[in-house]
A and B are shown apart, each in its own frame.
Chain A
Amino acid sequence: MYACIHAPGAGALAQSFSPHIEMVDAQTAVFSITPRQVPGLQRISRAAVAETAEAAILAARHLPGLTFIPPGEETNILGALSIDCLPPDPEIFQTLDLWGIRSLAELARLPENGLAERLGPRGLWMQKLARGALDRPLKPVALETTYEESMELDYSIKLIEPLMFLIGRFLHDLCARLDAQSLAAGAVQLTLNGKERLLRLPFPTRDVKFLLKLVQHDLEAHKPGESIDRLRLRIIPTDPRRVQHGLFTPAAPEPEKLELTLGKIRALVGQKNVKTPELRNTHRPGWSIGDSRLAFRYFRPPITARVEIEGGQPKHVSTRVCRGKIAKLSGPWRTSGDWWRADQWNRDEWDLGLPDGSLYRLYCDQGGWFVEGSYD
């Protein structure tokens, strides 16, 4: 059952009945209504209730007061209206005028087949409209809602725990608001004493417990360092997550659990030390797939080496991890690049084997000699 309000400020009036309303024009709003809500429309100057949205719109626009159209009575109630009440279509209106059709009841009575032959699908559509039988879903407008809560405290907060209590309350309210609009949080913006911190979520969610834990881990990793007087929490909304599960897809960690675990690990080892490795479009050593496919282990940072040279080639190497006469040697391999940037590289590399069988990569650049790592 649909209701339509045709009055100044129809949008605001309609929102007092339902959060999902369609604005047909500036003064006409249509929405879904329950029988219990119908008496509430009596205070409105022009309103109508009907089985279909289009019938309600026609009645509200052209009949005074509150019109209630019981199912099946559409033609009787709307029939007296002139065909000018229908959406304008000069060609069809001219034809109907020639036929002597003046009211919706007359149009509704015409045989469907004959009408379709002469006026096509548009004519049939207008006849359905005249009969009040044109059923269509609502096109609800997106309401502008802010997802923000703020508070100025009488007594400043020093500890994280009482702060989490307030944040929890905010999150609870905001997530309820998101739930009502079928939205989810895409990011959380927390402002403490005017200092802003944006927490981007890896997936949209409105799980209060999960968001609260995430904010807690973030606060523990980045402590405010001062007493909190002012607090503001804003949620940036986005569409909720839709996941298609498969019977044969391999097991993967639960996203919520994984994010909390990674949050704890980030707090432990640092934000930049937890990541998914990726290769870059460059020839810089260690950044892209090179020619060598032999497994390699880096010494990060590279280890300074003392190298004895004989005939232009290294003969003996000495570092804190390895020392000895070089038994086998491959190189020099000259590489350079990014000469237009401050972090350009230009170096000679050798692969070397020591008598004990261990294999290393040695390089020489402007900074001296270094052992970069070992083949393993």
Chain B
Amino acid sequence: MLSSVSLGWRIESAPDVLSTGAAECPRGRITEIIGPRSSGRTSFLQSILAASTRLGEFAVLVDATDSFDPCTAAAAGVALDKIIWIRCAGNVEHAMRAADLVIQSGGFGVVALDLAEAAESGLNRIPATTWFRWRRSVEATPTVLAVVANRPLTKSCSALLIEMKRKRAIFTGNLLRGAEYEIAPRKPIGKEGKALHCMAV
């Protein structure tokens, strides 16, 4: 009997996914979340971290601009005791090297690299080969590599590219009650968008 293995073919099965409330992030792939300020990027990232830590996995957040807020993350369901928070004080190069070390180390459910609000000069210096290398590094692992940025950085290396859009802020009288965002998947093509409601109180 001929089998695909004996012929040297590698069957590419659909990757395992990490289901968050907002989307399904493929494991062993790069998920990129882009959007302008107040578009829900952080809410989406927190939902990924919450989904992973809820399963008992450990996650790493490489925070290029020291912008992480543990209070709202805990309120979103992130188990803070399962997170390693690496603060890079605005240094993109340090963030990339730290993320590289973490990815090579392995064993994490989610490795999140938050490059939103990072200096454009630093982002422009990231070699394109880095993303290809990371794509290969996480390929055979159960890790979701999530990259948050203002604009697409990973190009063809991401398996899931989500563009977050502002929809509306919900003010009731003298109170900010929440915000509504739109999740627009740009990759893979053909996926329908969703609305993400985040309530403040």
Chain A contacts to B: CB under 8 angstroms: 249-254, 257-258, 261-262, 264-265, 268-269, 273-279, 286-300, 322, 328-331, 351, 353, 357-360, 373-376
**Contact (Cβ within 8 A) A287 B107:** no
Task: Give 17 A-B pairs besides A269-B89, A353-B171 with Cβ atoms closer than 8 angstroms.
Answer: A257-B107, A261-B101, A275-B84, A277-B85, A278-B81, A279-B70, A279-B71, A286-B69, A293-B75, A295-B40, A297-B37, A328-B176, A353-B169, A357-B169, A374-B38, A375-B179, A376-B116
A-contact bits for B132-144, CB 8 A (1 contact / 0 none): 0000000000100
CA distance A348 to B168 in the complex (A): 25
Secondary structure type dominating chain B contacts = mixed
B91 nearest in chain A by CB position: A269
B172 nearest in chain A by CB position: A330
Residue B106 at the A interface, CB < 8 A?
yes
Interface size class of B (residues with CB under 8 A): 35 or more
- Taking the closest CB of chain A, its distance from the CB of B114, in whole angstroms, is 9
Q: Name the one of B58, B91, B101 contacting A265, with C-beta atoms under 8 angstroms.
A: B101
Please indicate the chain A residues that have their CB under 8 angstroms from the CB of B40 in the complex: 295, 376
CA distance A85 to B74 in the complex (A): 70
B45 nearest in chain A by CB position: A295
CA distance A299 to B46 in the complex (A): 18
Please indicate the chain B residues that have their CB under 8 angstroms from the CB of A357 in the complex: 38, 166, 168-169
A-B contact count (CB 8 A): 173
Q: Name the one of A257, A277, A297, A330 contacting B105, with C-beta atoms under 8 angstroms.
A: A257
Residue B159 at the A interface, CB < 8 A?
no
A361 nearest in chain B by CB position: B176
- Taking the closest CB of chain B, its distance from the CB of A139, in whole angstroms, is 40
With contact pairs A250-B109, A251-B142, A277-B73 given, residues A300 and B67 touching in the complex (Cβ less than 8 Å): yes
**Contact (Cβ within 8 A) A376 B37:** yes
CA distance A257 to B116 in the complex (A): 29
Q: Name the one of B83, B108, B116, B175 contacting A276, with C-beta atoms under 8 angstroms.
A: B83
**Contact (Cβ within 8 A) B200 A273:** no
**Contact (Cβ within 8 A) B57 A376:** no
CA distance A274 to B108 in the complex (A): 16
Residue B117 at the A interface, CB < 8 A?
yes
CA distance A242 to B31 in the complex (A): 37
Please indicate the chain B residues that have their CB under 8 angstroms from the CB of A293 in the complex: 72, 75-76, 198-201
**Contact (Cβ within 8 A) B179 A359:** yes
Please indicate the chain B residues that have their CB under 8 angstroms from the CB of A330 in the complex: 171, 174-176
